[in-house]
């Protein structure tokens, strides 16, 4: 099973991008989505942006991740 986390591209330098994943900045490869633009959302898996997604899907996915995290904190 693969898990991917939505992230917003905040800067790019060649095939590398800085992204914001739920308030955390990370450096990822954009080799698999070379057409991505600053400000767009991507799904991140194992240090790679694997798909460009729209804002609505990104926000809904982030909300679900936060619900999962909250459920672990309650245990």
Domains contained in the chain, number? 1
Taking the C-alpha atoms of residue 61 and residue 39, their distance in angstroms, rounded to an integer, is 17
Question: Do the Cβ atoms of 36 and 17 come closer than 8 Å?
Answer: yes
Taking only the tens place, the pLDDT of each residue in 27-71 is 999 999 999 999 999 999 999 999 999 999 999 988 988 888 888
The predicted model scores a pTM of 0.85
pLDDT of residue 75: 64
Domain assignment of residue 50, given as a range: 5-74
Q: Which sign, positive or negative, has the C-alpha torsion 42, 17, 28, 35?
A: positive
Tell me the CATH number at 61.
2.30.30.140
**Which residue's entry shows tokens 């990822």?**
28
What does the pLDDT read at residue 72? 80
- For residue 6, pLDDT over 80 is answered with yes
Paired strand residues for 31: none
Confidence of residue 2 (pLDDT cuts 50, 70, 90): confident
């Amino acid at each position: 099973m693969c898990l991917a986390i939505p992230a917003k591209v905040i800067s790019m330098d060649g095939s590398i991008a800085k992204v914001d994943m739920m308030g955390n900045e990370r450096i990822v490869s954009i080799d698999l989505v070379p057409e991505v633009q600053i400000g767009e959302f991507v799904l991140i898996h194992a240090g790679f942006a694997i798909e460009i997604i729209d804002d609505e899907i990104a926000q809904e996915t982030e909300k679900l991740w936060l619900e999962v995290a909250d459920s672990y904190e309650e245990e």
